[in-house]
Structure 1
Amino acid sequence: MENNKNKPFFERETMEQLTEAYVDSLALNSAAIKNGKDLVKKNSFPLLCKSEDASVIFGECKGSGKDPYRCSVDWAKEGNPVFRCTCPSRQFPCKHNLGLMYAYTSGKSFETAPVPQDLAEKREKAEKREEKKKETAVSDAPAAKRKTNKAALTKKIAAQLEGIAIAEKLLLQLTQQGFGSLDKKVLQTADEQAKQLGNYYIPGIQIALRQLTELFRSENERETVYTQAIEQLTMLHSLIQKSKKYLEGRLGNPDAPVDADTTLEERIGHAWQIAELREQGHVRTDVDLLQLAFRSYTDAPRGEYVDEGCWANLSTGQIQFTRTYRPFRASKYIREEDSIFHVVTAKELAEYPGDLNKRVRWDEAVYREASSKDYMNVMASAERSFAEVIKRIKNQIKNPLSHKNPVALLHFKEILKEDTAYVLVDDQGKQLPLTDIPFVSAPTTHLLPLLNRAYLLNQAILVIFEQNMQRNRLEAQPLSIVTADKVIRLLY
């Protein structure tokens, strides 16, 4: 197997700068880390070598067969290590690659030796592919946007509209039956009907229907479930109506531009590619970002694990998100993301259409240590008026298709405790209640009294909002506190 792990960790990493933390960051999950380290503990590497120019380490690792696996980690291209191994694993890097690197970081003796012929040939082929890619990129630079296959587009839209009609009928049936009659059998039938929507290119609407049926399988109190179900029904109704109108318009005019300003396309189920976002002007170059919070959670209706990072864009001051989706069935082959404490410089940052907290992604980036200037930059971008922020948050929450849990970075004068609850106070004396909200599913407010009092005065705080329907008020949960020299994470 061979793979180019396109995720650098430090601004300049070579074999000489290899650290255990960096190797940990490359592993797909904690199990891969353990397996790689176990190989070193068991002395499974009878041969450990490094090239004279310190650009590649290679060796042999004992396997289940009589012949050892030959593995290597190649830094021929700075910032992009290439992993190669003769084992049949589909994980990149495999445990043998990880073990090879852990052997180096643990101080094992590596013999300086010539790069094996087969490895040298692969490196040469890789270099030629890279050169050809660059030549193609240059030749394609002034090229026009991709042409749309109108016949295929018309056929797809017609199928989507047919699927939306089915979804609308299913939603009507569930509503007419009433929430009280939605027993296990009815929910199973609804899931089977929703499954059929997989043939109509509307996975987003299909997932939204699954989210509705999943609510009635939860162990929450019925009143809470009914409140959430009404919100989901409202969203689904709006999504179906707006999708129908939008797609009917595109069916009548295939030349009409795709909606790249709102989340509607993604809500229907479109998976934006970086090339498309580039065509729509949603790409920035050389952008610095600092991660402020991180969490992983399970999304049962989607059938995926989600790794979500919350970032401060140091170029614009905006709070943005990265999300990596790992389908249950393929999760062990997809790298599990983790907290990042360095500043990331994305060579090309793609922004998805969205609301206050746009989702972003990048393919290539370099990392550097965060400085006091970076932290001060983040603090300077914090909102100082709670009233203005709350107005924007409420406007977003009112929109049925907008995310109901936006995030904001706020400058606060102090954090006070009133009775058993905490409140955030701005310079004008406006208060914002702090509490643990259901959406996050991880408490953080209980950590506030553990902090030094100085961190509760005149700092910046990252909070996530939720409208409490029972109390009819907007509440916020603290995620991180940003000071002049650090980020104190309450959730990571």
Structure 2
Amino acid sequence: MINVTESYVDSLALNSGAIKNGKDLARKNKFLLLQQSEDGTLLFGECQGSGKEPYRCSVDFGTEGQPVFRCSCPSRQFPCKHNLGLMYAYAAGQPFTTAPVPQDIAEKRQKAEKREEKKKEAAEEGAPAGKRKTNKAALAKKIASQLEGIGLAEKLVLQLVQSGLGSVDKSMLQTLEEQTKQLGNHYIPGVQTALRGIVLPFRTCEDREQAYSAVIDQLAVLQTLLRRSKSYLQGRLDTPDAPADAGSSLEEWIGHAWQLAELREGGHVRSDVELLQLAFRSYTDEARGEFVDEGCWADLQTGDIRLTRTYRPFRAAKYIREDDSMFDVVKAKELAMYPGDGNVRVRWEEVVHRQASAEDYRHVCSFAKPSFPEVIKAVKNQIKHPLAEKHPVVLLQYKEIAQAGASYVLLDEDDRPIPLTDIAYLGEPTTPLLPLLHKTLLKRQAMLVMFEHRMQEGLLTAQPLSIVTPEAVVRLLY
């Protein structure tokens, strides 16, 4: 029998609107027929629509972690609201009668099985795995264009620095924006985003001094990015047989979108990995022109804090699945890890869910870092590099959440403090929730925090994201 929970169905929906519509169908009993196969791997039924004929929908769990959605409705969303409603009805315990697998679905299953058999036969016979061959001429042309774009970006930065930030006016901003847009023809979207990060503070910050500080920080990042990118790309141009650098985040900074096949070839995958989400947020990245759904996960094997990020371009957001909070443990058949240090970004394609248990929570707590000085040293070493993640996420073991005047600090066993404050990067306050916590949460638990270094004050602070106890995860940031 399949294990379908409400949170699992939520994770399959494209967006919150699809979740609402699917739940409404189940709650309002719109399904005229609810059935399942004898082995429980197929859910199917009929749902009343706006026309005379009901929509026939099904969810096929024949391949673990890869449900197949079918529906006779005209929706272009997969899963559609009828598929979701069918699963919500099952998760809610509504009665499903046992029935034979419909003939059309049985035929489609047979075709899928034959395709899989052919793939297996080809693999057993030693057929090529489908590794892409590099077109050296095309690669050289692309890299040459990238180097040309980096040259243009260097001129823009030089022009801005020579003119001085105080000389930036509306006319100059418009010129910068137009020239930044031209970089879209040079295969360096990451550099283009970094340049937009210089323009945006002038557009959005009312405080001119605040805008200057943000621009100076971004200029330091951009200068390092341009210098390293130029050297790296020139090296690739000289040795076209060399593979892309899968040992650092530089390729992603330039704008390369890693494919799963590339990560496999680079050895950046692990099998059968379980993760538990500890925090989640959605935000808007104006420089990228995308909505971002970000989850913080504890790797139940290593204890590392991983990140998932789903990027949804403004123009195509409604066609891309919107991530949400997840409370189940997920087991990825294959976990792909992006190059980089710190909180490595991960992704998966096939995943199964199970309900989190007290054993899982205790396991996560055991990974919490007990020594604040060691954590602070590691965080400072990371953020001093211009292209490193500036807001590391760490799980800390604490002795007490203590009040210090009007603010709060986190204390370790030796009473060494870490200030708890709301950081501008998150844009969502959580410290006002600390006085509302039950007293049992104030001592000897684990806290997931995001760090920020306040340059002007020379102060390293942290914002609480969640508290992990042996029984539960208390989320302050969803």
Global fold match (TM > 0.5): yes
Residue aligned with 1:121, SS: helix
Corresponding residue for residue 93 of structure 1: 79
Structure 2: tracts of 5 or more residues without a match: none
Equivalent position to 1:332, from 314, 318, 323: 318
2:20 matches 1:29: no
Corresponding residue for residue 367 of structure 2: 381
Distance 1:197 1:473, change over 3 A: same
Deviation at 1:62, TM superposition (A): 4.4
Deviation at 1:111, TM superposition (A): 5.4
Equivalent position to 2:284, from 283, 291, 298: 298
Please give the residue correspondences for 1:227-306 in structure 2 after superposition, counting only pairs within 5 Å: 227-306=213-292
Corresponding residue for residue 340 of structure 2: 354
Query: Hey, what's the Cα distance between the residues in 2 that align with 1:155 and 1:267?
Result: 20
Deviation at 1:385, TM superposition (A): 1.7
Q: Do the aligned residues in 1 keep the contact of 2:197 with 2:215 (CA within 8 Å)? A: no
Query: Hey, what's the Cα distance between the residues in 2 that align with 1:199 and 1:452?
Result: 55
Residue aligned with 1:217, SS: helix
1:231-265 deviation line (CA, Å, top 9, x unaligned): 00110011001100111111111223422221111
Residue 412 of structure 2 aligns to which amino acid in structure 1?
Answer: D
1:98-154 deviation line (CA, Å, top 9, x unaligned): 233344456666555443332222222222223333444555698696543222221
Query: Hey, what's the Cα distance between the residues in 2 that align with 1:405 and 1:285?
Result: 28
Corresponding residue for residue 217 of structure 1: 203
Query: Hey, what's the Cα distance between the residues in 2 that align with 1:174 and 1:259?
Result: 31
Deviation at 1:199, TM superposition (A): 1.4
Greater Cα shift, 112-121 or 353-362? 112-121
Distance 1:376 1:139, change over 3 A: farther
1:405-441 deviation line (CA, Å, top 9, x unaligned): 1111111221211110111112233211110000011
Distance 1:364 1:40, change over 3 A: closer
Query: Hey, what's the Cα distance between the residues in 1 that align with 2:265 and 2:403?
Result: 50
Deviation at 1:455, TM superposition (A): 1.6
Greater Cα shift, 67-76 or 341-350? 67-76
Deviation at 1:209, TM superposition (A): 1.0
Q: Do the aligned residues in 2 keep the contact of 1:289 with 1:343 (CA within 8 Å)? A: yes
Query: Hey, what's the Cα distance between the residues in 2 that align with 1:208 and 1:466?
Result: 20
Q: Do the aligned residues in 1 keep the contact of 2:8 with 2:353 (CA within 8 Å)? A: no
Greater Cα shift, 203-212 or 187-196? 187-196
Structure 1: tracts of 5 or more residues without a match: 1-12
Q: Do the aligned residues in 1 keep the contact of 2:194 with 2:222 (CA within 8 Å)? A: yes
Deviation at 1:396, TM superposition (A): 1.5
Please give the residue correspondences for 1:72-471 in structure 2 after superposition, counting only pairs within 5 Å: 72-105=58-91, 112-138=98-124, 146-471=132-457
Query: Hey, what's the Cα distance between the residues in 2 that align with 1:443 and 1:218?
Result: 20
Residue 441 of structure 1 aligns to which amino acid in structure 2?
Answer: G
Deviation at 1:33, TM superposition (A): 1.9
Structure-1-length-normalised TM-score: 0.90
Q: Do the aligned residues in 2 keep the contact of 1:92 with 1:333 (CA within 8 Å)? A: no
Identity %: 66
1:336-363 deviation line (CA, Å, top 9, x unaligned): 1111222222222111111211111122
Q: Do the aligned residues in 2 keep the contact of 1:293 with 1:479 (CA within 8 Å)? A: yes
Equivalent position to 1:56, from 25, 29, 42: 42
Distance 1:230 1:94, change over 3 A: same
Q: How many residues align?
A: 478
Distance 1:264 1:139, change over 3 A: farther
Corresponding residue for residue 463 of structure 2: 477
Q: Do the aligned residues in 2 keep the contact of 1:465 with 1:476 (CA within 8 Å)? A: yes
Deviation at 1:485, TM superposition (A): 2.2
Greater Cα shift, 19-28 or 160-169? 19-28
